Amino acid sequence: MKKMEKTTRFARNLLAVAAGLTVAGLAQAGEVEVLHWWTSGGEAKAASALKATLQAKGHSWKDFAVAGGGGDSAMTVLKSRVVSGNAPAAAQIKGPSLQEWAAEGVLANIDDVAKAEKWDSVLPPVVANVMKYKGNYIAAPVNVHRVNWLWANPEVFKKAGAKVPTTWDEFFVSAEALKKAGIIPVAHGGQPWQDFTTFESVALGVGGTDFYKKALVQLDQATLKSATMDKVLETFRKVKGYTDKNAPGRDWNLATAMVIKGEAGMQLMGDWAKGEFIAAGKVPGKDFTCAAAPGTAKAFTFNVDSFAMFKLKNEANVKAQKDLAAAIMSTDFQEVFNLNKGSIPVRLNMDLAKFDDCAKLSSKDFVDTAKSASLVPSVAHGMAVPSAAAGAIQDAVSQFWNSDKMSVADAKAKIASAAMTK
């Protein structure tokens, strides 16, 4: 009898402990489904740093990767998921699109995390404002990518007797020399977002910062129809002449691989390309070089990746989502993620000791260009204008790139009218 009583008490205690554990477990361990398009070598390494950070907090990560550089396919899939009432916890959404999603009422307010982690004081205001909707944080930023870069393979440049260009005139001299040496001068992936990435670097280099802002950010009709736009389009078409015939449809990372292997001399691409060189074991300054796209050394087109947080019902998952948001902005994560991604931390005053010279230059230029008003948002990467206008301009630019018969005047008119898309 005594023994029975003891056992019963023990069993009861055990049950109570187990129940407590379950409740505690449920309250803490949640699942976070994260939509992203980071599937290339360098991107996947960076994404796995995010996964590891979340798992270290005891939560589980449900990967929702939709391949396709630039994220066009990912956005299409996200829309259908949200419409069917099945939003992920977090999704890679950037720039003005964050406001569009928030206006739909589907994003969660994460101000409690932002306050506890002092985001207002560790983020540049230009970034913090984009992460907020009506004054409340709805997204967490991960990095700052610079888009106006030119990546080159120094060995093939040497072989061709060419130098890495700093102006568009020099660019074509080098391209000609590479071509004569039997090397594909420009590695390009013929997808609309990649055409547009090249286009905006040409626009910035040929037209300058004021032109870029007026034409592509303010969408000023007179500037879009100006003579400078002719020069931009002519230069853009000339660049195409130095790409290979297999460019159409090629993924950006395969274009980077051509530079890595020395099949091509250079690539105009944002610094996620550096993530590919690094993932392939290449050393900056030795195996590859980073330089501002011709004529753009004193400007900086920024592209900030961020994760928007969707409203969730399950409490454990909400907790996991908040832990994810806090982790994204932590100094440890910002370091390891950006070392792999090719970008620089978005958090101010971070120690960059472990970063390479490309990242250090990017960081210096980010600060300097902010002071000289030549820090501009990337249109190709969804930082500048609402998605409808950006998409229409992108299509017009790609049509011109792909149809050698379209005149500059026609392209100019098409782009100007695309800019009016609401």
Closest CB to ligand GAL: residue number? 69
Q: Is 270 exposed, middle or buried (0-12, 13-18, 19+ CB in 10 A)?
A: buried
Residue 268 CA to residue 315 CA, distance in Å, equals: 45
Residue with structure tokens 């949640």? 30
Q: Give yes or no for residue 340 binding ligand GAL (CB under 6 A).
A: no
For residue 101, the minimal CB distance to ligand GAL (Å) is 16
* φ, ψ for residue 171, nearest 5 deg: -55, -45
Which residues inside 358-397 make contact with ligand GAL, applying CB under 6 A? 381
Q: Give yes or no for residue 196 binding ligand GAL (CB under 6 A).
A: no
The token pair that represents 159 in the structure block? 């072989």
Q: Give yes or no for residue 288 binding ligand GAL (CB under 6 A).
A: no
Q: Give yes or no for residue 95 binding ligand GAL (CB under 6 A).
A: no
How many residues touch ligand GAL under the rule CB under 6 A: the total is 12
Q: Are 380 and 193 in contact (CB under 8 A)?
A: yes
Residue 286 CA to residue 165 CA, distance in Å, equals: 17
For residue 50, the minimal CB distance to ligand GAL (Å) is 12
For residue 392, the minimal CB distance to ligand GAL (Å) is 18
* φ, ψ for residue 243, nearest 5 deg: -100, 170
For residue 378, the minimal CB distance to ligand GAL (Å) is 8
Nearer to ligand GAL among residue 43 and residue 335 (C-beta): 43
Nearer to ligand GAL among residue 337 and residue 400 (C-beta): 337
Nearer to ligand GAL among residue 70 and residue 185 (C-beta): 70
Nearer to ligand GAL among residue 101 and residue 157 (C-beta): 101
Q: Give yes or no for residue 272 binding ligand GAL (CB under 6 A).
A: yes
For residue 186, the minimal CB distance to ligand GAL (Å) is 18
Q: Give yes or no for residue 71 binding ligand GAL (CB under 6 A).
A: yes
Q: Are 343 and 302 in contact (CB under 8 A)?
A: no
Q: Give yes or no for residue 141 binding ligand GAL (CB under 6 A).
A: no
Q: Give yes or no for residue 188 binding ligand GAL (CB under 6 A).
A: no
Neighbours of 402 (CB within 10 A): 13
Nearer to ligand GAL among residue 178 and residue 380 (C-beta): 380
Q: Give yes or no for residue 37 binding ligand GAL (CB under 6 A).
A: yes
Which of residues 43, 117, 200, 335 is near ligand GAL by CB under 6 A? 43
Which of residues 32, 34, 66, 70 is near ligand GAL by CB under 6 A? 70
Q: Which positions touch ligand GAL (CB under 6 A)?
A: 37-38, 43, 69-71, 145, 252, 272, 303, 305, 381
